[in-house]
Copies of this chain bind each other. A is one copy, B any other.
Amino acid sequence: MKETETSTHRSACPINVLLETLGDTWSLLIVRDMMFFGRRTYNEFLNAGEKIATNILSNRLHRLETVGIIEKRRDSTDARKYIYRLTDKGIDLAPMLVEIILWSARHEKTDAPPEVIEEMSANRDAYVSKIRENWRTSSQS
């Protein structure tokens, strides 16, 4: 047993609380891949351009499941596969991700399409609603 839970109990400061669950290099990228790119299986995450190692991916998926941000199910059509989905708690990270994207777009060079940034910026709440709606309709499968 190597990649087990790390229960570093700092304070209950809200920032700390989030850092404990998502404060590593990969967890947030996995959430992004699910929320914005619709990735849902182990191999889709593996081949997602960022080259995460298999043990790290495995560990982070377990952790995200443990803290209730994602859930794991068997594929209903292909019994060999697992499907990872965001829970409500996970989808609720959308406002934060949107703010991250907007901040990065304002202050650094990013590859986000300007028209998307424009849309997010003009009406954040509507954009978040759209993410939630997209999620609801697509996750029925």
CB of A38 within 8 Å of the partner chain: no
CB of A133 within 8 Å of the partner chain: no
- With the chains together, A103 CA to B89 CA distance in Å? 8
CB of A4 within 8 Å of the partner chain: no
Q: A18-B100, A23-B28 are known contacts; what are 13 more A-B pairs with Cβ within 8 Å?
A: A10-B50, A11-B50, A14-B111, A15-B32, A15-B97, A17-B104, A17-B108, A17-B109, A18-B104, A23-B23, A95-B102, A96-B99, A98-B99
With an 8 Å Cβ cutoff, the count of chain A residues facing the other chain is: 40
CB of A112 within 8 Å of the partner chain: yes
Q: Which residues of A contact B (CB under 8 A)?
A: 10-19, 23-25, 28-29, 32, 49-50, 68, 89, 92-93, 95-112
Q: Is the CB of A96 within 8 A of B107?
A: no
